[in-house]
C-alpha cells in the first residue's frame, strides 16, 4: 500500500527520468516539485538505485496490466496490435515523454544492476505477450521468421517510432514509422 508521498515521488521521478534519463532526475528536483525536502525522499528510497529500481518495476507492471487487458478486450490480432501501438503513441504524444525503459536501456551500462535486471523483465514481458498473440491468432510466419523474431521486430518498431517522434518533434511521425500492415487480415 504505497503512501501518498511515495506515489508523488514516483510520479515526479518518472516524468524527469523519461526526459533526461538516469542522470536527468535528482532527489532535490523531485523534492522541489512535490514540496518536501530531499532528505525526506531518502526515508522512502534510501538510495537513488532503490528509487530507479522501483520506478522501473512500476512502469513494467503498469504495462503488463494493460497488456492483459488488451488481450481480453480485443478480438482480432490487428486490433490488439493497434491497441498496443497506441500505448506507446499516447506516451509519445505528450511532449517530452520517451519510454522510460527505452531511455534507461540506452544507458544501461551506467545503471545499477538492480535496474538493468528490471529492464530485461520489461522487454521479455513484451516479447512473451506479443509472441503469444501471434501464435494464438495463427499469424502467418514467413520463411526465415519465427513468432519470437516477429515480436522483437514489433517492439523495435515501437521504440524506434518513439525516438523519431522526438527527433522530428511531430506526432504524426509515430504512425508513419509504424507498420502493422502484415497483420491487417487477422
Chain residues that interact with DNA, rule: CB under 7 A: 3, 5, 25-29, 31, 35-40, 42-44, 46-49
Q: How far is CA 69 from each of CA 63, 80, 83, 89, 145, rounded to the nearest angstrom?
A: 10, 10, 10, 17, 27
185: contact with a second copy by CB under 8 A: no
Shortest Å, Cβ 42 to DNA: 4
Site string for a second copy, 2-31 (x = CB under 8 A): -----------------xxx-xx-------
Nearer to a second copy by Cβ, of 28 and 37: the residue is 28
What whole-number distance in Å separates Cα of residue 175 and Cα of residue 180? 10
Q: Contacting a second copy (CB under 8 A), which of 96, 125, 135, 138?
A: 96
* Binding partner of 100, given DNA, a second copy, none, CB within 5-8 angstroms per partner class: none
Q: How far apart are the first and last CA of the chain?
A: 41
Site string for a second copy, 105-124 (x = CB under 8 A): xxxxxx--------xx-xx-
92: contact with a second copy by CB under 8 A: no
- The helix (run of H) or strand (run of E) holding residue 42 is helix 38-44
Q: How far is CA 58 from each of CA 4, 22, 154, 160, rounded to the nearest angstrom?
A: 15, 16, 23, 22
What whole-number distance in Å separates Cα of residue 110 and Cα of residue 116? 9
Shortest Å, Cβ 69 to a second copy: 24
Amino acid at each position: 500500500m504505497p503512501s501518498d508521498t511515495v506515489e508523488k515521488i514516483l510520479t515526479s521521478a518518472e516524468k524527469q527520468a523519461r526526459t533526461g534519463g538516469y542522470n536527468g532526475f535528482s532527489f532535490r528536483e523531485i523534492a522541489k516539485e512535490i514540496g518536501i525536502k530531499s532528505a525526506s525522499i531518502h526515508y522512502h528510497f534510501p538510495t537513488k538505485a532503490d528509487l530507479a529500481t522501483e520506478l522501473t518495476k512500476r512502469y513494467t507492471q503498469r504495462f503488463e496490466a494493460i497488456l492483459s487487458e488488451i488481450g481480453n478486450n480485443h478480438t482480432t490480432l490487428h486490433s490488439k496490435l493497434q491497441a498496443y501501438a497506441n500505448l506507446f503513441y499516447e506516451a509519445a504524444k505528450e511532449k517530452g515523454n520517451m519510454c522510460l525503459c527505452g531511455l534507461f536501456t540506452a544507458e544501461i551500462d551506467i545503471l545499477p544492476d538492480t535496474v538493468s535486471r528490471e529492464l530485461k523483465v520489461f522487454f521479455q514481458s513484451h516479447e512473451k505477450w506479443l509472441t503469444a498473440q501471434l501464435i494464438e491468432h495463427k499469424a502467418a510466419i514467413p520463411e526465415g521468421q519465427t513468432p519470437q523474431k516477429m515480436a522483437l521486430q514489433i517492439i523495435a518498431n515501437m521504440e524506434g517510432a518513439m525516438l523519431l517522434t522526438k527527433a522530428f518533434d511531430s506526432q504524426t511521425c509515430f504512425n508513419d514509422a509504424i507498420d502493422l500492415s502484415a497483420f491487417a487480415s487477422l
